[in-house]
Structure 1
């Protein structure tokens, strides 16, 4: 059985969560499986109320795959942020050192 097709409609991010772990989860998951957004999951009971058992099993299998893809994507994003923050930190240290040297050189 093929995976559940990804919906073409992706709800806009919730601005009240911007920058939070929930926001990052949704930003990643919206490209993997929009049906697993935190704003969409509460609609599942109604949306899938009449779904057959085999279709439900297939959907859950598809979701398991989506969560595995999410884990890899989230780890990649976290690593990119870690490396980026280290570069910013190193640049800040360099700038601070340069500023200190200018103060020392000016004799003040």
Structure 2
């Protein structure tokens, strides 16, 4: 969750929303920012480790790959999209049995 929030804070714009839903034996942790969103050609690579949409920024960090790896190792999933009203939405799902 910290990885998702930090990424939204560093690369998006506020307000940043944290939404948690439990459904069907899974918990979904979703973070939305109100910035420019992801470039469309970058969306398939959002969860690649150590990648950034704007390579010119040269900031340090793990990108969203860490969140993806944690979700998958726990039997969960992940996803990202541009919100129709602007900004980016990123989420991971985890089995509720882990909580």
| TM-score when normalising by structure 1 | 0.28
User: Greater strand percent: which structure?
Assistant: 2
> Which of 1 and 2 has greater Rg?
1
Choose between structure 1 and 2: higher helix proportion. Answer: 1
Return the TM-score normalized by structure 2.
0.29
Which fold has the larger relative contact order, with Cα–Cα distance below 8 Å and residues 6 or more apart in sequence? 2
